[in-house]
Amino acid sequence: MKQTKIKICGITRKDQAIEIAEMGIDALGFVMYPPSPRYIPTVELKTILSVLPPYTTTVGVFVNDPLDQVYQTMKSTGLHLAQLHGEESPQYCKELTSRGINWLKAFRIKDHIDNETIKSYSSRYIHLDAWSEEVYGGTGETFAWELAKQLSQEHSLILSGGINEVNAREAINQLHPYAIDLSSSVESSPGIKSIERIRALLMAVRP
């Protein structure tokens, strides 16, 4: 069985980005949504991206931005993947593909999963996060993982929402996701990561 990949999201500091990447974390996420406490301006993002190891995947998190804005940000920064965390439509995603932008659509799960909506995006990789009325991500809350059992047999899942060093192994054993995505659960404050908790996570899932 393939090793589950790990993404740490909401990074805002260059020194932490370098240290986390050198720990062997597969992907680093950067929030391009200004209302978020983890938002990072493009100028600061470019500085971080310029010093990361070459095989670290970098992900920009966008929420309901105009398509042209996402395209320009991706091209100007060199981010590898656009994670779409709002109500972006299948057509919106197809247009990004036509412009050469790799994307991942996130779906926020409350008490059920709308399989037909997810299928309309025609993507093998699906990002699942916990629902919140207040924020689009980084809630620190989990959803009922059993809801995604069937979906995990049809798609490669990226699982987020309240995953931490304590329950990550359970999440992996239950759904066998392609990747797990952590943000607030490995922080000392919004945007400031706890290197100790990330080390504990790695020990839990990659002993």
Catalytic residues: 9, 129
Cite the DSSP H helix spans in 33-157: 42-49, 67-77, 90-98, 115-119, 149-154
Alpha carbon distance 25, 116 (integer Å): 32
Alpha carbon distance 13, 16 (integer Å): 5
User: What is the SS3 assignment for 132?
Assistant: coil
Range 44-50, long-range pairs (CB < 8 A, 24+ positions) = 44/12, 45/77, 45/79, 46/76, 46/77, 47/14, 48/11, 48/14, 48/17, 49/77, 49/78, 49/79
What's phi and psi for 148, nearest 5 deg?
-100, 10
The pairing of strands 27-31 and 179-182 is unpaired
The pairing of strands 57-62 and 179-182 is unpaired
Residue type, 38: R
